[in-house]
Amino acid sequence: MRVTELWRYPVKSLQGELLQNATLTPQGVEGDRRYAIFDAETGFGLTGRRVPELLFGSARYSGSGALEIVLPDGSLATDDAALSDWLGRPVTLRSTDEAVSRRFESPKDFENDADWNPFEGAQGSFRDTEATVISLVSEGTLRGWDRRRFRSNIVLSDSGEDDLVGSRVALGTAVVDVTKQVGRCVMVTRSQPGGVDKDLDVLRTIHRERGGKLAVGASVLTGGPVSVGDVVAAL
């Protein structure tokens, strides 16, 4: 297998950046999930599970490294007021350096969004779990689904990433420990820009055919650069 795509998502649940080169660190892809938007009244972090419209905004880093958030109308959100106007509620953007609460919500039943379970997200970057910092998925596993539904950092050629679980793998000069298959939630069913419609059958199929799991998660043992075209080699 080879690396065919690299993705970075600077703000949790917003669209991200397709890269040619990235640096892996102990916190994952450098700059990934470094920010999240929080409800100023409830204190909960917002995700596309609870607030699907987040997926229609996007985030990127400028040439100087500054975060830029692009709203669905193409304008830049320069402060919390602009984000609050967009989302219709008072919100605040927080970085991993300043956030204290890391509470998020997930629906009890993905077939309807009536009841919600709170959970505590990971420390460090704004991930849902401490167990992994990057995720990898192959083009074969994706079949015809839009890869953005799954928000994996690394897309691989061919198939067979599930067989890497329990292995140490070289990606460029970085070394990662592939620890688990990734369980999937309602996020994969949400609509997104570019004609990706809401589709509950995506998650139904994953549960029926793959036990609710798609992609694999890994921790970073040795950081370093990785590029599109790099060979994935089990060590």
Q: What rounded mean pLDDT belongs to the chain?
A: 94
161 by DSSP, 3-state: which? helix
Alpha-helix residue ranges (DSSP H) falling in 36-134: 80-87
* Pairing, β 224-227 against β 134-138: unpaired
| pLDDT higher than 70, residue 122 | yes
Per-residue pLDDT of 131-156, as tens digits, reads 899 999 999 999 999 999 999 999 99
| pLDDT interval class at 99 (50, 70, 90) | low
In Å, what is the CA distance from 6 to each residue of 35, 62, 93, 135, 231?
A: 19, 17, 25, 11, 13
| pLDDT interval class at 219 (50, 70, 90) | very high
The H or E element containing residue 38 is: strand 35-39
Mean per-residue pLDDT for 92-118? 86
Residues with Cβ within 8 Å of 41's Cβ and at least 6 positions away in sequence, in order, are 89, 90
Per-residue pLDDT of 49-94, as tens digits, reads 999 999 999 999 998 999 999 999 999 999 999 999 999 999 999 9
